[in-house]
Every structure is written in C-alpha cells, then in structure tokens.
Amino acid sequence: MIKFENVFKEYSNGVMALSNINLEIPKGDFVFLVGSSGAGKSSMIKLLIREEKVTRGKILVHDEDITKIPNYMIPKLRRNISVVFQDFRLLPRKTVYENVAYALEILGESKKTINREVTQALELVNLRDKMKCYPSEISGGESQRVSIARAIVNNAPHIVCDEPTGNLDDHTAWEIMQALKNINDEGTTVIMATHAANIVDKFNKRVVALKDGSIVSDVEGGCYYHENY
C-alpha cells in the first residue's frame, strides 16, 4: 500500500506544486496520473522516490513514513520503488544484459542469481534475443523495454513510470504498455504519469487526474478527459 496523507509541496521559488494530496494505492494496482503540464504529476513521483521532500504531510510505503527516513536509507527505498524514465538512461558501453544486471551487481548478488533474474526480466519484456546488443544497436522502444527490465529485475513491488511512452511512436508505445501490463499481471504495482490520452482511454485502468496541484478526479476504469481539467 502506498498512501499520500495531506501532502503539500512548495518549491523554493514559491510555486505550490501539490496541495493537500490524499491518495491510497493498493498493492497490485495500476494507476495513471494525468493532467496538463504543471499539474503536479512529476512532483508526486519525485516525492515518492524522495528526489524531493514534502513541505507538509506524510507518504506511507508499507506503513513506513518515507518523508522521515534519513538520506542513507533512500537507496533502500528505491529498491522497493523502481523508476522508468522517459529518456531510458541506459549505459552506452554496456550490453542490454549488462545494463539490467548492473542493478543487481550493486546489491552484491551472485552471478547465478544475476543470470537467473536478468534472463527472467528480459523474457518478460520480450528482449531475451537482444541481450548481447548495445543501446546503439536497438530501437527506442527496445531501449525503453530494457529500462523496464532494469526496473523490475530486483523484484521491486512498485514501479513508477514518468512519461515512458513520451518519445515513442504509437506502435512502439503499445509494446511498452503491453510490457507494463505483463508486469502488473504478475502483481507489481504500476504508477504511470502520462499525457497519452489514447493509451489511458483504451487501457481501462484507474485514472487519477490532477489540476493545479490538486486531485480533481479518481476513477476506476476511467478515461483521460474530464470536465474538471
């Protein structure tokens, strides 16, 4: 369970990015965060991974208030909440396999464990046949699927995606969404910030809409457009 309780975020320039956010996301849920640029979607993600600190309020992950954890515990938090970025952030001199394995190498896992987990992650996103390729040798959609495999390889229970299809064509975007659906079907919570109305409308998942830093709609099986935003 992820829970935002009366969360406010005001930046140093005086911009109030989030105002009194209250939201519960049960384990295994699939949630789209929608709204125009500046609505507060990215701020919610930054707070959830402790890239930014709340101004007021609590964010609970498995009943632990992550707003109060010391900085040295942030890496542990991010092993439980993996992030998929719009710009992939792959290491250019490492192969697909090595990019995904790197997350486990940092944790000191054995070669046997790394091989098993990386292979499973790449199979889940249909990229096992690309494991020896370098990022320059694969497409944008394949690169994004590598970043998804990297996010799930340590079996994090939550994945947060910040505009993961933003730089991709429609066909490739749907490949990415199928990969995320497969992961969600395995029980992983997926939270995805997006402007892709066509994906939101066709995917028929929970839609949380923000406007001016406030939640204005929260609908199970919702659509992108709503009269309030």
Alpha carbon distance 222, 153 (integer Å) = 30
Q: Convert the pLDDT of each residue in 192-209 to its tens digit.
A: 999 888 999 989 899 999
When pLDDT is averaged across residues 166-174 and rounded to a whole number, the result is 81
Other CB atoms within 10 Å distance of the CB of residue 64: 13
E runs forming strands in the chain: 2-10, 16-25, 30-34, 56-61, 64-65, 81-84, 158-162, 189-193, 206-211, 214-219
For 15-34, give one letter per residue: b (16+ CB within 10 A) or e.
eebbbebebebeeebbbbbb
Residue 41, H or E segment: helix 41-48
pLDDT in tens, 84-126: 877 778 999 999 999 999 988 888 899 999 999 999 999 888 8
Write out the two tokens for 67: 């707003």
Contact 81, 160 (CB under 8 A): yes
CA angle (168, 170, 29) in 5-degree steps: 85
Write out pLDDT tens, residues 129-168. Answer: 999 999 999 998 899 889 888 888 888 899 999 888 877 7
Class of 28-53+79-219 per CATH? alpha beta
The band of 228, judged by pLDDT with boundaries at 50, 70 and 90, is low
Helix and strand element counts for the chain (H, E) = 7, 10
Reported as a single tens digit per residue, the pLDDT across 46-95 is 999 999 999 999 999 989 999 999 999 988 888 889 888 777 789 999 99
- Per-domain boundaries in the chain: 28-53+79-219
